[in-house]
Amino acid sequence: MSLSRRTLLAASLATLPALAAGKAVAQVEGQWRAVTGDNGQPIPNTRLPGELASEIGALRGVTWLGPREASVTLYEFFDYNCPWCRAAARDLDDLVKGNPDLRLGLVNNPILSVQSAQAAKVALAVQRTGGSSATARLYGALLGPGTSGRIDGPRALEAASRLGHDRAAIEQAADSDEVREALTAQMRLAANLGLHATPSYVVGTSALLGYPGPKSLARVLSSVAECDEIACAS
């Protein structure tokens, strides 16, 4: 089946409303721990159910950066059309390179638009055929420095093609049941965790709702390494 605009649109529309209708189990306002972003504003955060948080690493289609044996694992749930996700993408590579004991997992959560879901399906198709390294390159091509504008399925396909992937093969994989099920599982878990902001971050059993900025995120990771909490008691 061809991954046409019509096909992508229909498949995405079938997925997004059903997930949006599900009741999130961890919706929060306020803070579990006192965490301040780089702009001086409080960053909403919450404690997550451990049994749900532990499911993230088992999701199909997570894009991994950093060493497998790292002692701290950070997950970013992102949307390709989220401006803060674009800002974060420009910092996360430096964060991983500067922290050899950090592993980053990128999880699709395209809640902002049908076009975002289209791009996520293309990325998952690249993940299926080329693994995390190939998907990380696509992520950088779509959200890295110098990028701008709306990202949809055709644009993601074009970016994948420029990176050397067979466009027809990626189209076919993106329209597969395997990719659809992987994306549905990622979005369903994000909803069940109450990750209603993009980007959102999960480390251990804590979640940050929104991008705190590179300095704040580095402080959070330092606290996790020191006391296993996103903010240590003073």
Q: What is the pLDDT of residue 206?
A: 95
H or E segment and range at residue 201: strand 200-203
How many Cβ atoms from other residues are within 10 Å of residue 189's Cβ? 19
Class of domain 45-227: alpha beta
Q: What is the pLDDT of residue 14?
A: 45
What DSSP state is assigned to residue 180? H
Q: Which residues are 65's β-sheet partners?
A: 104
H or E segment and range at residue 106: strand 102-108
Token digits for 85? 């996700």
pLDDT confidence bin for 145, thresholds 50/70/90: confident
Give me the residue label for tokens 């006192």.
34
CA distance between the termini of the chain: 58
Contact yes or no for 122/174 (Cβ under 8 A): yes
Token digits for 50? 């451990």
Average pLDDT over residues 8-17: 44
pLDDT digits (tens, 9 = 90+) for 88-130: 998 888 888 888 899 999 999 999 999 999 999 999 999 998 9
Q: What is the pLDDT of residue 29?
A: 53
pLDDT digits (tens, 9 = 90+) for 160-188: 999 999 999 999 999 999 999 999 999 99
pTM for the full predicted model: 0.87
Token digits for 222? 């330092």
Helix (H, G, I), strand (E, B) or coil at 2: coil
